[in-house]
Amino acid sequence: MNFISRDTDYAVRALIYMARQPKAEVVTVDDIVKKERLPERFLRRILQKLARKGFLASNKGKGGGFSLVRSPGGIRLTDLMETFQGKMNLTNCLLKGRICPNVMRGCLLRKKLRAIGKELDNKLNKITIASLMKG
């Protein structure tokens, strides 16, 4: 079971690559594909999604490409995970539809997981693209 999905991972790579460019330049998908060796079509879809969500600006036409909108320090790993994997849910009750005797209140398992989940979130929230750029 993977915590990070493939598209989240690809997005991280691409964003780090873009953030490394001097002067927030427009970067072409082809460029990223060549340097980071990611699958082109799939990466396009990922970048499009990032653009729709406001992480990137896309510039069509000749000389076009994608450019960062938000600063690398403002893009958290958890934002990307949420974008591509949906909100990470440590505590979802899977019995709900079927017959959950105690939707959340009083459910010890969920209560414990919730506490742990909060601490996990706090830590994950500190990971940003900027914090990953030194590597």
Partner DNA sequence: TCTTAATAATACTATTTTAGTATTATTAAA
Partner DNA sequence: TTTAATAATACTAAAATAGTATTATTAAGA
Q: What is the contact surface with DNA in residues (CB under 7 A)? A: 1-2, 5-7, 10, 28-30, 39-42, 44-45, 47-48, 51-52, 58-66, 85-86, 94
The residue to which tokens 């069509």 are assigned: 60
CA 78-79-84 angle, to 5 degrees, is 95
Q: Which stretch binds ligand FES (CB under 6 A): 20-28, 43-51, 65-73, 95-103?
A: 95-103
How far, in Å, CA of 63 to CA of 59, rounded?
8
Judged by CB under 8 A, the chain residues 22 through 81 that form the site for its own copies are: 37-38, 77, 81
Residues forming beta bridges with residue 65, ordered by sequence position:
59
Give the C-alpha distances (Å, rounded to integers) separating 124 from 61, 78, 82, 110, 135: 37, 6, 12, 20, 17
Contact 113, 62 (CB under 8 A): no
From ligand FES, its own copies, DNA, none, interface partner of 45 (C-beta below 5 to 8 A by class): DNA
Judged by CB under 6 A, the chain residues 74 through 93 that form the site for ligand FES are: 93
Of positions 20, 45, 114, 123, contacts its own copies by CB under 8 A: 123
Contact 46, 58 (CB under 8 A): no
Under DSSP, the state recorded for 117 is H
H or E segment to which residue 114 belongs: helix 108-124
Rank residues 57 and 132 by Cβ distance to its own copies and give the closer one: 132
Site of interaction with its own copies (CB under 8 A): 1-6, 9-10, 12-13, 37-38, 77, 81, 85-95, 98-99, 102, 106-109, 111-113, 116-117, 119-120, 123-124, 127, 131-135
- Where on the chain is the footprint of ligand FES (CB under 6 A)? 93, 95-96, 100, 102-104, 107, 109-110
